[in-house]
Structure 1
Amino acid sequence: MAVSSRRLQKELTEIKTAGTPCGITLLKADDFQTWFLSLEVLGESQYKGEVFALMFRFDPQYPISAPAVQFVVDDKYKAPLHPHVYSNGHICASILGGEWSPVLSVIAVCITLQSMLASCKEKKRPPDNDRYVAHAPDNPKKTRFVYHESDSAAAP
């Protein structure tokens, strides 16, 4: 069994036995390639009452390499209106790129994104949303995001 499969089996077992933190629900994890989880920001926030879905795609190098993570955009779910989230669901977050660490887990990523949404002061798209979405690759890991303190910019 590959390292990624062992690690994902361990994470899935922990999720199924210990459960998930409040506001995070495992929707589907039928294999070790793609998982879906729902995310809700609890308490008073810009996103009160909204539920989002995240898609995690794992390559054979996980957890050495970050999973490809994006918000699901379909008939049921939409990407949150946030300065670091593009309308196609791609997320500009350093932990999904250069600051990824193998100690992070699927749940740790969900908690980080939950916190990112909870701290949002103004619901708006990144300034380059339309340009980025028009040229974005299917896999957000193929984007070279440029991280700034207060805003985001992408170079597909």
Structure 2
Amino acid sequence: MSVPFAAKRLGKELQKISSSLPPGIELVSADNFEEWLLDIKVLDNNPLYQNQTYRLKFRFSPSYPIEPPEVVFVQLPDRPIPIHPHIYSNGIICLDLLGQQGWSPVQNVESVCMSLQSMLTGNSKNERPPGDEEFVRGNTMRPRDIQFYYHDNDV
């Protein structure tokens, strides 16, 4: 019996990140190849995120890494969902890297976490995306199925 490609790839990623992760990224759990939890911190002095730790949930399909993982921030008593113009209050992230058009199989769990750290580091606006309340109230789609409109699509 052959091992599905996703499991083989995730096994290699898990082996690598279990031994070394960049500063501010911590593996919380990876009990299977369907869902992993990681914590991230912003390491610079951005006052919006200072001394905060955020929980990410990764969900992998059998088509990973051809298909992007579903990545959302998870709300916990000591882990808020960061306030950011590209992060909805339900934890859904509007980032082209996580969509079908922006994803590349060369990306991995570590690079996604680093991209999210960078996205938070560069933020200066303490606000949610426009239409956050309506989106959260009316959304019934899984994050990977949402077709976000990216402003750079106009170029």
TM-score, normalized by length of structure 2?
0.92
Match of 2:27 in 1: 26
Does the 8 Å contact 1:137/1:143 carry over to 2?
A: no
> Would you tell me which structure has more strand in proportion to its own residues?
1
Q: Which deviates the most, 105-114 or 133-142?
A: 133-142
**For the residues of structure 1 that align with 2:42 and 2:128, how far apart are their CA atoms?**
18
The residue matched to 1:145 in structure 2 has which SS?
coil
Does the 8 Å contact 1:40/1:50 carry over to 2?
A: yes
Give, in angstroms, the shift of residue 74 of structure 1.
3.2
1:95 aligns with 2:97: yes
Deviation by residue 1:44-70 (Cα, 9 ceiling, x = unmatched): 112111110000000000000000000
The total of aligned residue pairs comes to: 148
**For the residues of structure 1 that align with 2:78 and 2:138, how far apart are their CA atoms?**
24
Q: Which deviates the most, 31-40 or 121-130?
A: 121-130
Displaced runs of 4 or more, over 4 A: none
1:12 aligns with 2:26: no
Match of 2:140 in 1: 137
Q: 2:150 aligns with which of 137, 147, 155?
A: 147
Give, in angstroms, the shift of residue 43 of structure 1.
1.7
Match of 1:57 in 2: 59
The residue type paired with residue 44 of structure 2 is G
C-alpha RMSD over aligned residues: 1.0
**For the residues of structure 1 that align with 2:34 and 2:123, how far apart are their CA atoms?**
31
Unaligned runs of 5+ in 2: none
**For the residues of structure 1 that align with 2:30 and 2:149, how far apart are their CA atoms?**
31
TM-score, normalized by length of structure 1?
0.91
